[in-house]
Amino acid sequence: MNKNRRDFIKASALGGAALVAGAAAGTEDAAAAPGKQKPLDILILGGTGFIGPHMVREALRRGHSVTLFNRGRTNSGLFPDLETIKGNRDAGLDGLKGRRWDAVVDNSGYVPRHVQDSARLLSANTAFYLFISTISTYASFATANDEDSPLAMLDDESIEEVTGETYGALKVLCEKRAREEIGEDRLAILRPTYVCGPGDHTDRFSYWPVRVTQGGEMLWPGDASNPIQIIDARDLANFTVDCVEQRITGIYNTVTPVGSYTMGHLLEDSQAVGATMVDPVWVDEAFVERAQQEYSGPRWGLFPIWHPSSGDNAAVSSVSGARARAAGLRNRPVRETVRDLLSWWRTLPDLRTATMQAGMSADLEAELIALWKTERA
Ligand SMILES: NC(=O)c1ccc[n+]([C@@H]2O[C@H](COP(=O)([O-])OP(=O)(O)OC[C@H]3O[C@@H](n4cnc5c(N)ncnc54)[C@H](OP(=O)(O)O)[C@@H]3O)[C@@H](O)[C@H]2O)c1
C-alpha cells in the first residue's frame, strides 16, 4: 500500500508547545534604505542542498559575505570560492567556536538538540538567527492555519528520529530551542510550504509540468478548481535575506496567497510554458483515494502537492501567508517557477530525469485512465 501522504507530515495531538502568539515583525535596528545596506557576514548552516544554494546566491548577489557549515557530503564543489567550515550538527560544531557573524541562517535543523547546540554556541557571536522551519509544524490541516494555530506535539520529546510522523513536531521543538537560546528579539522563524523551483530533488511540483511536456492523455486528481500552495525557492531565499538585512523577527508562513493558484492553473501554465497540450482526464477524489491505497508510487507519492478537498488534509493549501507578505515576501508568478524549473530539468542527466521521485509512471497512468474510463462506461 502506498502511503502517499508521507510527503506531508501528520501530527496527532494539539499543541502545548504553542509558539509565542503573534510574534510580530520587529524592525529594531532596521536596515538602511535600499542600496545602502551594509555588507554582512552571514553563516549558513547547510547551504549546499536544494534551498540553501538559492540563499547563498541571493546573499552574494546583494554584496554580503557567506560562510558555509556542513559535512562536505552534499554538492561539496558547489561554492569553491566560499569558506566552508566542515563539521557535523551532531556534536561536531568545533569549527564554529570563536567566530563571529552578523547573522546565522539555520537551514538544516531537523533535530531539536542540534538546533539547541548551534544556537547556544553562536548566540553570543551573532546578532541575528533565522531558522527555516516548515508548515508541517501545525497540529492539524483539517482547517486553515495561520502562525498562531496550534502546533504538533511529540508524546516523547527525547525522540530524534526524523520520519513522516515526527518531522513537524520535531521542527516545533527546534523552533522552541532556538527561541530559548537566542531570544525572540533576535530570531526569525520561516515556515515554508512545498518549496519548488530549480534544484528541487523531490520532484513533487516538477512532476506536473514535466509530465505535461510528454503530451497525450494525462491523469489529473480532483478537479481544476482544487487549490494548491507552493513557495518558489528563490522567493523564500529573497525573504530570508530581507529578514537578515532588516532584522525582521517573528514567525512567518512562506506560501503563495490562499486561493491564488489551482491545479487548473498548473495545467494551464505547464501547457503554455512547455508548448505542449495534453488531454486531461480529471478523476474524482474517491478514485484518487483508491489509487493511493492500491498502488505504490515513488517516495513522494502518486499525486504530489495535491490534497483532497475534505478530511484531515483539506486545508494544507489554505495556510495564511499574509503576515510574511506584509513584512515583504513577494511571490513571483507561478508560471515563472514552471518556466525556470523546466529549463533546469532539461540540463539534468538522463539517469536523473528517468527516475522521478514523485508522480505516476507512464504504465500506471495508462492503467488508471483505462480503469477510470471502464468504470464510467
Ligand atoms: N523542500 C521543501 O519543500 C521544504 C519545505 C519546508 C521546509 N523545508 C526546510 O528547508 C530546509 C532545507 O531544505 P533543503 O532541501 O535545502 O535541505 P537539504 O537539501 O537537505 O540540504 C541540507 C544542507 O545541510 C547540510 N547538512 C545536512 N546534515 C548535516 C549535518 N548533520 N551537519 C552539518 N550539515 C548538514 C548538507 O550538507 P552535507 O550533507 O554536506 O552536510 C546541506 O548543505 C530544511 O530545514 C527543511 O525542513 C523544506
Ligand 1 site, residue 51, Cβ cutoff 6 A: yes
Please give the distance, rounded to the nearest whole angstrom, from the Cα atom of residue 258 to the centre of ligand 1: 26
Judging by beta carbons within 10 Å of its beta carbon (0-12, 13-18, 19+), is residue 95 exposed, middle or buried? middle
Q: Which atom of ligand 1 is nearest to the CA of 72?
A: 40
Q: Are strands 195-196 and 103-106 parallel, antiparallel or unpaired?
A: unpaired
DSSP state of 262: B
C-alpha cell at 140: 492539524
Residues in the chain: 377
User: Residue 231 sits in a domain of what CATH number?
Assistant: 3.40.50.720
Reply yes or no on whether the pLDDT at 30 is more than 70.
Answer: no
Q: What is the spatial distance between Cα 274 and Cα 55, in angstroms, rounded to a whole number?
A: 27
Ligand 1 site, residue 305, Cβ cutoff 6 A: no
Helix (H) or strand (E) holding 212: helix 207-212
pLDDT in tens, 190-219: 999 999 999 999 999 999 999 999 999 999
Please give the distance, rounded to the nearest whole angstrom, from the Cα atom of residue 65 to the centre of ligand 1: 20
Q: Provide the pLDDT for residue 112.
A: 98
Mean pLDDT of the residues in the chain: 92
Q: Provide the pLDDT for residue 33.
A: 53
Best of 45, 108, 133, 200 to mutate for ligand 1, by most ligand atoms within 8 A of CB?
108
Best of 6, 58, 69, 70 to mutate for ligand 1, by most ligand atoms within 8 A of CB?
70
Q: Which atom of ligand 1 is nearest to the CA of 73?
A: 40
Ligand 1 site, residue 15, Cβ cutoff 6 A: no
Residue 288's nearest CA partner among 212, 359, 215 is 359
Domains held by the chain: number: 1
Q: Is 260 helix (H, G, I), strand (E, B) or coil?
A: coil
Ligand 1 site, residue 50, Cβ cutoff 6 A: yes
Residue nearest to atom 12 of ligand 1 (CA): 107
Share of the chain above pLDDT 90, in %: 90
Q: What is the spatial distance between Cα 118 and Cα 302, in angstroms, rounded to a whole number?
A: 37
Ligand 1 site, residue 107, Cβ cutoff 6 A: yes
pLDDT tier for residue 36 given thresholds of 50, 70 and 90: confident
Reply yes or no on whether the pLDDT at 34 is more than 90.
Answer: no
Q: Are strands 278-283 and 216-221 parallel, antiparallel or unpaired?
A: parallel
Q: What is the spatial distance between Cα 365 and Cα 218, in angstroms, rounded to a whole number?
A: 7
Q: Which domain holds residue 296?
A: 4-376
pLDDT in tens, 288-328: 999 999 999 999 999 999 999 999 999 999 999 999 999 99
Angle formed by the axes of helices 51-61 and 233-246, to 10°?
Answer: 50
Q: Which atom of ligand 1 is nearest to the CA of 47?
A: 43
